């Protein structure tokens, strides 16, 4: 990065540190913060969407749909996260490859399962064995987003299901009295009012999601915790220009500060959102706002 960095062994103090912190390996560490933020930015709306679908299905009047929604919520909430992240991802990956295998290679005569091996034809591999590394990374990232959305969607579904039931029945009855049909009641009365009941539960989920990102490494995505561990580990002089002892504590301290700051920012934003959603609602908070304004 800097000119004087060509021979770090002659440097000390801040000059050494400035070289050390600007190695390409550290750049990968900084980029991984972006990866985590991107994952959160994509996963949160996706999980909310899954949650909304799940909750709508669970309270549906059509029995199979309702069973499906409730089953989704119950099963995913009941399975331990780590088991889900390990097995579901491998199963999903193999499922995709199996479907591609059936459609792309109809005349393949060898069995897919040979002992321990899972073998599909080369054209069915996802991504293709020949594709460059970044395609593999995008694929891994997408699988990660999907898995996160599925898991957190189940929790969000449960929160939203509860929030939908918390909207005062009188509100819905009034809407019926005005002659609105089921769809209109759902979209115009129920959904706008339920968010204020859902937000405390959803904000909890968001906090858990922020801290669940180290699970990414299980899915082959290199996140901030992986790099902190790799960079902080003892480095002996033979294998690096910047030998140092066990510095993992300092890297993890940095992560701690990052996570705390991120949590604080989230809290501030969620508080504002709560204020906004409470406005004009038939809740204690809404009543307090009305009185304060009057």
Partner 1 sequence: MKKLILTAAVLALSAGMGMAASHGKTIRLGTEGAYPPYNFINDKGEIDGFERELGDELCKRAELTCEWVKNDWDSIIPNLVSGNYDVIIAGMSITAERDQIIDFSQDYYPPTASTFVAKSADADLKGVISAQTSTIQAGYVAESGATLLEFATPEETVAAVRSGEADAVFADWDYLKPIVEASGGELVVAGDPVPLGGGVGLGIRESDKELRDKLDGAITAMKADGSLNTLLKKWFGDETATY
Phi, psi dihedral angles at 244 (to 5 degrees)? -160, 170
| Token couple for 91 | 């199963």
Instruction: State both tokens at 30.
Output: 């900084």
Among 15, 21, 28, 270, binds partner 1 (CB under 8 A): 28
Shortest distance in whole angstroms from residue 168 CB to partner 1: 37
In angstroms, give the least distance from the CB of 35 to partner 1. Answer: 14
Binding of partner 1 by 115 (CB under 8 A): yes
When binding is defined by CB under 8 A, the residue of 16, 18, 23, 66 that contacts partner 1 is: 23
Q: d(Cα 181, Cα 177) in Å, to the nearest integer?
A: 10
Q: In whole angstroms, give the CA distance from residue 286 to residue 282.
A: 6
Of 121, 201, 207, 222, the one binding partner 1 (CB under 8 A) is 222
Residue 15 or 274 with smaller CB distance to partner 1: 15
- What beta strand segments (E) does the chain contain? 113-114, 117-118
Site for partner 1 in 232-251 (CB under 8 A): 233-234, 236-243, 246, 248
Instruction: Give me 28's structure tokens.
Output: 């990968």
Determine how many CB atoms are found less than 10 A away from the CB of residue 265: 10
DSSP reduced 3-state for 233: coil
Asked if 261 is part of the footprint of partner 1 (rule: CB under 8 A), the reply reads no
Q: Is there binding between residue 24 and partner 1 (CB under 8 A)? A: yes
Max CA-CA distance within the chain?
Answer: 83
Among 1, 2, 4, 25, binds partner 1 (CB under 8 A): 25
SS3 (DSSP) at 97: helix
Residues between 54 and 113 that touch partner 1 (CB under 8 A):
86, 90, 93-94, 97
Tokens in use for 78? 């009941």
| Contact footprint for partner 1 (CB under 8 A) | 23-25, 27-28, 42, 86, 90, 93-94, 97, 114-120, 122, 125, 127-133, 135-136, 138, 142, 217-218, 220, 222, 229-230, 233-234, 236-243, 246, 248
């Amino acid at each position: 990065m800097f000119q004087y960095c060509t021979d770090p062994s002659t440097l000390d103090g801040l000059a050494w540190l400035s070289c050390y912190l600007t190695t390409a390996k550290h750049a990968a560490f900084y980029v991984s913060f972006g990866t985590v933020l991107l994952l959160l930015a994509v996963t949160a709306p996706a999980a909310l969407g899954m949650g909304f679908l799940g909750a709508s299905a669970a309270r549906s009047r059509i029995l199979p749909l309702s069973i499906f929604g409730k089953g989704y919520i119950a099963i995913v909430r009941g399975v331990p996260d780590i088991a889900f992240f390990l097995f579901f991802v491998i199963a999903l990956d193999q499922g995709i490859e199996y479907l591609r295998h059936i459609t792309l290679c109809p005349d393949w005569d060898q069995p897919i399962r040979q002992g321990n091996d899972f073998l599909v034809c080369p054209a069915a591999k996802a991504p293709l064995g020949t594709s460059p590394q970044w395609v593999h990374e995008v694929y891994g990232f997408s699988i990660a987003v999907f898995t996160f959305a599925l898991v957190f969607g189940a929790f969000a579904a449960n929160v939203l299901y509860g929030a939908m039931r918390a909207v005062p029945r009188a509100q819905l009855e009034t809407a019926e009295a005005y002659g609105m049909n089921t769809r209109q009641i759902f979209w115009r009365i129920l959904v706008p009012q339920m968010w204020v009941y859902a937000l405390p539960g959803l904000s909890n989920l968001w906090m858990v999601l922020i801290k669940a990102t180290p699970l990414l490494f299980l899915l082959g995505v290199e996140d901030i915790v992986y790099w902190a561990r790799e960079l902080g580990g003892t480095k002996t002089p033979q294998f690096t220009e910047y030998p140092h002892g066990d510095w993992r504590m300092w890297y993890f301290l940095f992560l701690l500060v990052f996570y705390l700051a991120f949590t604080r920012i989230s809290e501030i934003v969620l508080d504002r959102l709560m204020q906004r959603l409470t406005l004009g609602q038939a809740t204690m908070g809404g009543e307090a706002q009305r009185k304060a304004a009057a």
